[in-house]
């Protein structure tokens, strides 16, 4: 029989993990407003202080590593003056990818709380268990599915708006006219 994981409660100044997820969702909304995939993250201390915030920005920053998780970890490292973020918990709206999982391991965070699973790139539960690598003696606890529907809806809405056919471009209109033999004069 596998050992049962006991997950810690949220830091005492927060009523629930959902309340912290609302902070990450606010960051995701800011990403969406900039045309980025709406993923947001916050990193909190054991006492509940938000040490770092992040939102996706690879498109606007031209940086493939500018994921919400990485940005939150970077901000926390700069604030604390240390890349070792022992005892912290990362709250993120989407299950992290392998790159972000690697950064969490190196940052030595204690826990991860995520919203929606990522069946395409999720490296925590969906595609692989990146939080349990054979080369590390540290284990990061995880809690998935917090405010899952809200997190997933934000992503679904973003991509459905992105996929809507836009008005035909001027060059497309010209090509269609030429194919039909209409020249407009």
- Cβ neighbours for 30, distance < 8 A, ≥ 6 positions apart: 40, 55
Pairing assessment for the beta strands 111-116 and 89-94 based on DSSP bridges: parallel
- At residue 104, the 3 state secondary structure works out as helix
Edge-first strand listing for the sheet containing 141-143: 50-55, 40-44, 89-94, 111-116, 141-143
Q: Which of 27, 36, 69, 95 is catalytic?
A: 69
List the end-to-end C-alpha distance of the chain, in Å, as a whole number.
80
Cβ(124)–Cβ(112) under 8 Å? yes
Pairing assessment for the beta strands 40-44 and 89-94 based on DSSP bridges: antiparallel
Q: What is the DSSP string of 1-35?
A: -PPPPPPPPPPTTSS-HHHHHHHHHHHHHHHHHTT
Cβ(142)–Cβ(131) under 8 Å? yes
Q: Is 27 a catalytic residue?
A: no
Catalytic residues: 69
């Amino acid at each position: 029989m596998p050992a049962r994981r006991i997950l810690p409660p949220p830091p005492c100044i927060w009523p629930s993990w959902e309340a912290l997820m609302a902070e990450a969702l606010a960051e995701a909304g800011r990403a969406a407003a900039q045309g980025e995939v709406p993923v947001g993250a916050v990193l909190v201390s054991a006492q509940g202080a938000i040490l770092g915030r992040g939102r996706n920005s690879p498109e606007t920053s031209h940086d493939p590593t500018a994921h919400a998780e990485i940005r939150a970890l970077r901000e926390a490292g700069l604030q604390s003056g240390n890349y070792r973020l022992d005892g912290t918990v990362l709250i993120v709206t989407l299950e992290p990818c392998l790159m972000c999982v690697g950064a969490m391991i190196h940052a030595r965070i204690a826990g991860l709380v995520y919203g929606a699973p990522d069946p395409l790139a999720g490296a925590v539960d969906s595609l692989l268990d990146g939080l349990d690598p054979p080369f590390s003696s540290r284990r990061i606890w995880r809690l998935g599915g917090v405010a899952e529907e809200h997190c997933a809806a934000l992503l679904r809405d973003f991509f459905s708006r992105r996929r809507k056919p836009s008005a035909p471009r001027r060059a497309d209109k010209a090509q269609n006219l030429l194919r039909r033999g209409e020249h407009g004069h």
